[in-house]
Amino acid sequence: MKVLIQRSTKSSVTVNNQVVGSIGEGLTLFVGFAKNDTLQILEKMKEKIINMRIFSNDRGKFDYSLLDITGELLLIPQFTLFADTSHGRRPEFFKAMSPDEATKMFDTFYEMCKEDIRINNVQKGIFGADMKVNVYNDGPVSIMVEIGDAS
């Protein structure tokens, strides 16, 4: 599993000119799944992300987590995180989970986050849709997190 985390002051995702998810201060997560990802990996990733200290204190040092600031989450499905560009000019996606399986994993990851009472607000994009994502990246801070056989 790979997740590109972007610390944001606000973010939204639009499908067919309609906003389907939006958050205030928090994290925008671009989420991709590898063929062998499991439910245990989802839980481990959720805990890692919400406890990662990437929000600044008054001295500008990363000191606070999403939970510390009562932040929000926007989840965006992003299979292209598994692009292999080592050969030719067209990316290949052999390591990415199949769309049917990845849709289920994404929905499960969303539900895990949504059901976690420690997280203030959880929103999401639509798997397989043509999404327009607006991220007001704060910092900018962007961090790639990989768990499992993601490489």
Determine which one of 38, 70, 80, 108 is catalytic: 80
What secondary structure, in 3-state letters, does 47-115 show?
Answer: HHHHHCCCEECCCCCEEECCCCCCCEEEEEECHHHHCECCCCCCCECCCECCHHHHHHHHHHHHHHHHH
Structural contact between residues 73 and 29, judged by C-beta atoms closer than 8 angstroms: yes
Nearest to 48 by CA among 34, 66, 61, 21: 66
Determine which one of 78, 82, 106, 109 is catalytic: 78
Instruction: Give yes or no: 80 in active site.
Output: yes
CA 21 from chain centre, in angstroms, equals 13
Instruction: Give yes or no: 106 in active site.
Output: no
Instruction: Give yes or no: 109 in active site.
Output: no
Tokens of 146: 């990989």
What does the alpha-carbon distance between residue 53 and residue 128 come to, in Å, rounded to a whole number? 31
Determine which one of 79, 82, 109, 127 is catalytic: 79
Active site residues: 78-80
